[in-house]
């Protein structure tokens, strides 16, 4: 570490005291820098919450107007696949939290391994989601692109399915972005960029990944579990 | 430098999240009437809180971070609250059970007034008052009036039944009519007959402006 610090000070070409290479000049300490990063990340997450919040509002309005269509639309979704994906995604949140903990405790190899496991679980989620989408396409239940209204089904089931694709599609997009972020963080971790003194990027990537998990925690009951008691009679 | 939680804590939280996931699936299959939805949301909120507090380390973060995270609820409540006060109050009316909004009617009737189904066939007037009558009368401007319905369907009560089961939207300024399919064929038939009979008996009204 002293070598790194000396090399860094030399590269600067200006004579202030040696400091940790990750410390940016407008911050006093790494602690202060981490606090600023955390606040910035949370502000980003709050606007993400509001972004999904708009879609949830549309969901609420149409659910109140067309409860029967919501019941019929939700019955089409597979609780087993949705449930397995919930377990997979919450599992990936656990491995993400353990990756951050490994970085906090200077365990470089464990950090990389937990991050890779998180990515694999994320990939599993996306593959299962892909099978669900494929099934919907085969049934021609994709509003706007390939839709056939089942006899006896309310036309408003299309609104439910549109919101299903909008919400799960945007969620899946966030997962793809998260996968890319984790790939970069895992590469940085493998290169030894993080230590117990400086692991903020791992923690920030974790905040993003957990946020995506939370969105799914709400999507699962709102999409898959509507009015199930009355469908089985 | 900052709080390091023991591994066991992460596994415990994961266990709680799994148990709550199983619980939300189990509860979804119980007959709780209108409570099913709030119960599902409450479980999801508890799960989200566990993730935020422990996986996202907010429990061990600065006061400023906590305040910021807490503000999310304020912003979301504004979004949902202000939107819903508009949509849920567009068709206020006063029923014998107090005031409520038209959008909530089908669920509330199904959940709270099971007796309506028995009184219905014998007394279509009371059923009409508790269902269609709140929006469709010759006095209101919340939906097409009985006189207009009579003009359209005088010889075709089956079309009224069809519409009530699977309503479409006639005019943008009216709130969309909710489906009344849950009332069942016999009650819808009694209602359609009653509506046409009432409209025929009443003197012609000027149609509601478009």
What are the structural domain ranges in chain A? 30-228
- Same-domain check for residues B43 and B98: no
Residue A142's region, left for phi above 0, alpha for psi from -120 to 50, else beta, is beta
Q: Strand pairing partners for B93?
A: B100
Task: Decide if A33 contacts A198 (C-beta within 8 A).
Answer: no
Q: Do A217 and B51 touch (CB under 8 A)?
A: yes
In this structure, the answer to whether residues B152 and B112 fall within a common structural domain is: yes
Of A65, A79, A213, the CB nearest to B176: A65
Tell me, rounded to whole angstroms, the distance of Cα A202 from its chain centroid. 14
- B66 to chain A, any CB pair closer than 8 A? The answer is no
Q: Is residue B42 part of a domain?
A: yes
Backbone φ/ψ region at A78: left (φ over 0), alpha (ψ -120 to 50), beta: beta
Residues 4-33 on B with a CB inside 8 Å of A are 4-5, 7, 10-11, 13-14, 17-18, 21, 24-25, 28-32
Task: Kindly state the tokens that stand for A230.
Answer: 């009355």
Contacts of A211 in chain B (CB under 8 A): 56
A90 contacts in chain B (CB < 8 Å): 14, 17-18, 21
The answer to whether the beta carbons of residues B61 and A203 sit under 8 Å apart is no
Residues of chain B with Cβ-Cβ distance to A87 below 8 Å are: 18, 21
pLDDT (tens digit, 9 = 90+) per residue, B142-155? 788 888 888 888 88
**Is residue B60 located within the same domain as residue B109?**
no
Q: Determine the residue among B56, B135, B188 to mutate to test chain A binding: the one whose Cβ has the most chain A Cβ atoms within 10 Å.
A: B56
- Kindly determine whether residue A39 and residue B10, on different chains, have CB atoms separated by under 8 Å: no
Q: How many CA within 13 A on the CB side of residue B113?
A: 19
Chain B: give the shortest CA distance to residue A167, in Å.
16
Q: What pLDDT is recorded for position B75?
A: 94
pLDDT tens-place string over residues A66-121: 888 899 999 999 999 999 999 999 999 999 999 999 999 999 999 999 999 999 99
Residue B26 scores a pLDDT above 60? yes
In a domain, B83, yes or no: no
Residues B131, B181 within the same domain? yes
- pLDDT for residue B197 is more than 80: yes
Cβ separation A46–B72 shorter than 8 A: yes
Per-residue pLDDT tens digits for A136-148: 999 999 999 999 8
Is residue B22 one of the residues assigned to a domain?
yes
Question: Using an 8 Å Cβ cutoff, are B153 and A39 in contact?
Answer: no
Residue B168: is its pLDDT beyond 90?
A: no
Q: Specify the CATH number for the domain of residue B143.
A: 1.10.760.10
Chain A positions in Cβ-Cβ contact with residue B51 (cut-off 8 Å): 93, 210, 213-214, 217
Chain-chain contact of A98 with B7 (C-beta, under 8 angstroms): yes
Closest residue on chain A to B3 (Cα): A104
pLDDT over 50 at A203, yes or no: yes
Helix (H, G, I), strand (E, B) or coil at A26: coil
Q: How far is CA A74 from the centre of its chain?
A: 23
Q: Is A233 a residue whose pLDDT tops 60?
A: no
Same domain, B98 and B195: yes
Q: In the numeric block, which tokens belong to residue B79?
A: 């979004």
CATH code of the domain occupying A30-228: 1.20.120.80
- Output B186 or A58, whichever has higher pLDDT: A58
Closest partner residue to A49 (CB to CB) among B44, B72, B178 is B72
Domain assignment of residue B103, given as a range: 93-201
pTM over 0.80, yes/no:
no
| Residue of chain B with shortest Cα separation from A80 | B25
Closest approach of B197 to chain A, Cα-based (Å): 28
Question: Any CB–CB contact under 8 A between B172 and chain A?
Answer: no
In chain B, % of residues over pLDDT 90: 35
CB contact under 8 A, A206 and B68: no
């Amino acid at each position: 570490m002293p070598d790194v610090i000396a090399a860094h000070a030399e590269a600067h070409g200006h004579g202030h005291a040696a400091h940790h290479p990750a410390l940016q000049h407008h911050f006093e300490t790494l602690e202060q820098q981490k606090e600023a990063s955390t606040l910035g990340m949370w502000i980003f997450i709050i606007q993400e919450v509001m972004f999904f919040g708009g879609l949830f509002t549309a969901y609420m309005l149409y659910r109140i107007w067309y409860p029967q269509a919501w019941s019929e639309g939700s019955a089409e979704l597979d609780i087993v696949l949705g449930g397995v994906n919930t377990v997979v995604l919450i599992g990936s949140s656990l491995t993400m939290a353990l990756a951050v903990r490994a970085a906090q405790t200077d365990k470089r190899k464990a950090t990389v391994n937990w991050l890779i496991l998180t990515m694999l679980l994320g990939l599993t989620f996306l593959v299962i989601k892909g099978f669900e989408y494929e099934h919907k396409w085969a049934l021609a239940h994709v509003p706007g692109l390939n839709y056939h209204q089942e006899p006896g089904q309310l036309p408003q089931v299309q609104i439910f399915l549109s919101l299903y694709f909008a919400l799960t599609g945007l969620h899946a997009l966030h997962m793809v972005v998260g996968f890319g972020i984790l790939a970069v963080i895992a590469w940085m971790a493998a290169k030894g960029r993080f230590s117990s003194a400086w692991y903020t990027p791992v923690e920030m990537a974790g905040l993003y990944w957990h946020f995506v998990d939370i969105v799914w925690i709400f999507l699962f009951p709102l999409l898959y579990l509507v009015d199930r008691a009355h469908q089985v009679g | 430098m900052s709080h390091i939680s023991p591994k066991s804590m992460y596994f415990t939280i994961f266990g709680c999240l799994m148990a709550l996931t199983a619980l939300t699936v189990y509860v979804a299959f119980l007959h709780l009437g209108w409570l099913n939805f709030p119960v599902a949301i409450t479980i999801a909120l508890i799960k989200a809180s566990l993730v935020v507090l422990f996986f996202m380390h907010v429990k061990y973060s600065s006061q400023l971070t906590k305040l910021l995270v807490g503000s999310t609820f304020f912003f979301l409540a504004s979004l949902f609250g202000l939107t819903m006060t508009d949509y849920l109050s567009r068709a206020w009316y006063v029923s014998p059970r107090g005031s409520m909004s038209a959008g909530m009617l089908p669920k509330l009737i199904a959940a709270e007034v099971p007796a309506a189904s028995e009184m219905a066939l014998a007394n279509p007037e009371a059923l009409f008052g508790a269902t269609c009558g709140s929006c469709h009368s010759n006095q209101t401007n919340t939906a097409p009036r009985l006189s207009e319905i009579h003009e359209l369907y005088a010889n075709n009560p089956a079309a009224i039944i069809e519409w009530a089961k699977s309503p479409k939207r006639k005019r943008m300024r009216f709130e969309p009519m909710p489906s009344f399919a849950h009332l069942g064929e016999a009650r819808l038939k009694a209602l359609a007959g009653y509506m046409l009979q009432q409209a025929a008996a009443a003197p012609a009204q000027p149609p509601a402006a478009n």
